[in-house]
Amino acid sequence: MDRPTVVLAMAEDAASYVSALERAGFDVIHQDVTEWLAAGQQFDLAVLDCDGDLEVVQRTHELLHGEKRTPTLLLLGEEYPDFVQQAGAGDELALKPLPADALVYRLQALLIRAGRHLTAEAPVGGEDGVTAIGEGRVISVFAPKGGVGKTTIAVNLAVALRTQTRERVLLLDADVGVGNVTSVLQVPASYGLIDLADSDPSEWTDAAFDQATATHPGSGLRVLTWGTEPGDSERISVDLLLAALKWARSHHTYVIVDNHPGYDDRTMAMLTVANEIFLVVTPEVGPIRNSSQFLELARQVGLGDVVRVVVNRANHGVSMADMAQSLGLPVSATIVSNGPKAVIAANEGTPIITKFPKERISTDLHDVARLVTHQGVKETSAQARRWRLPFARPSHA
């Protein structure tokens, strides 16, 4: 497969971006950019720094949006040109300063959403290298707040996908330090990512990840955990998680990621490269407020259109209509509350959908899986455009 090409139109020195992108498997053009574009050269992706000379920035933007529109990431400083306000679908926004590894994640995610797979030959990280991502579909289960049901949903979603499709499905426990999907899903003891944490990235091979993965006997779901000892958590790097995800994508049709609540680097990486983010919310004021804040951030960084709202314990509290209104997004799926059944299943290490297949909670969880198999996040183009615009700058307070 060809290496994806990216054109970097930077106002400042691009050296750190160029080296990070090349390590991650991209071919980069960063000199004579307008000349290349004016000559009709096509690129898979573009990065346009809006801080440069306005005329040059506008001209470059026009060239990138000619007959064939190049998926473009606009880098914004304090001020940005007017055309940013009118930028249509296809442009994404990132606020400066954007670290080189974050630029790589953003471009990987943009490429995936533009329908191109990343090169499988990309190196699996380097000294401070970043990994390119492979083929399967990644669903990141996330909530900014703990305890709303992420792990319950991730485990049952993964098993439901496996039983519904018989495709290869992998559950990645990325709730580093705290999470342990194996406490609610019994799988044979195996290694985890922690066993690769001190190895050189050259040893993060397919065979190594394969060996670190367990198989759930009842369903055939594959389960890769980060580890079990909270004290080990600092040793799990973003690079290792991304390398695991790259491997997982290349060998599975669906990869479900159970995330840590919050905005740490590892979690942000898992969200940025996801094809879809399932935002788990309970119908309570606190979680709704936290989720609104997350959605605002997601929209600002160009991830708004991959988020789907999944309401857990949906039969109590704030109505679905009010939730959709507060969040500015439709509710894509709801799951009823059923504490007794959830506890029995978890204590047994069995998925709820297997233990209590006829209960409403199980049919609801199966419906969450159908969101994935029926494909994609539907977005109205008007919404998509609106979400990509920087109506409010994030507070760095």
Q: Which two tokens stand for residue 301?
A: 């960084």
Minimum Å distance from CB 171 to Mg ion? 12
User: Which does residue 115 bind out of ligand ATP, Mg ion, none, counting CB within 5 to 8 angstroms by kind?
Assistant: none
Q: Report which residue's Cβ sits closest to Mg ion.
A: 151
Using CA atoms, how far apart are residues 256 and 225, in angstroms rounded to an integer? 12
Residue number, 150 or 308, with CB nearest to Mg ion: 150
**Between 162 and 201, how does the x/- string for binding to Mg ion read (CB under 5 A)?**
-----------------x----------------------
| Owner of token pair 């400083």 | 77
Give me the residues that bind ligand ATP (CB under 6 A), please. 143, 146-152, 175, 179, 261, 312-313, 335, 337-339, 342-343, 346, 361
Q: Give me the least distance between CB of 172 and ligand ATP, in Å please.
A: 14
Query: Which residue's CB is nearer to ligand ATP, number 267 or number 300?
Result: 267
End-to-end CA distance of the chain: 44
Nearest Cα to 201, choosing from 191, 209, 192? 209
Find the shortest distance in angstroms from Cβ 365 to ligand ATP: 8
For residue 151, state whether it binds Mg ion (rule: CB under 5 A): yes
Closest to Mg ion by CB, 150 or 246: 150
Residue closer to Mg ion by CB (options 57, 280) is 280
Which partner, ligand ATP, Mg ion, none, binds residue 354 by CB below 5 to 8 Å per kind?
none
- Longest CA–CA span in the chain (Å) reads 66
Give which of ligand ATP, Mg ion, none residue 283 binds (C-beta under 5 to 8 Å, depending on kind).
none
Judge residue 396's burial from the number of C-beta atoms within 10 Å of its C-beta, 0-12 exposed, 13-18 middle, 19 or more buried. exposed
**Which residue's CB is nearer to ligand ATP, number 167 or number 359?**
359
**C-beta closer to ligand ATP: residue 152 or 272:** 152
Return the percent helix, strand and coil in the chain, to nearest 5: 40, 15, 40
Helices (H), the chain: 15-23, 33-38, 54-64, 83-86, 100-113, 150-165, 206-211, 238-251, 265-272, 285-300, 320-327, 339-348, 352-355, 360-373, 381-388
* Residues of this chain that bind Mg ion (CB under 5 A): 150-151, 179
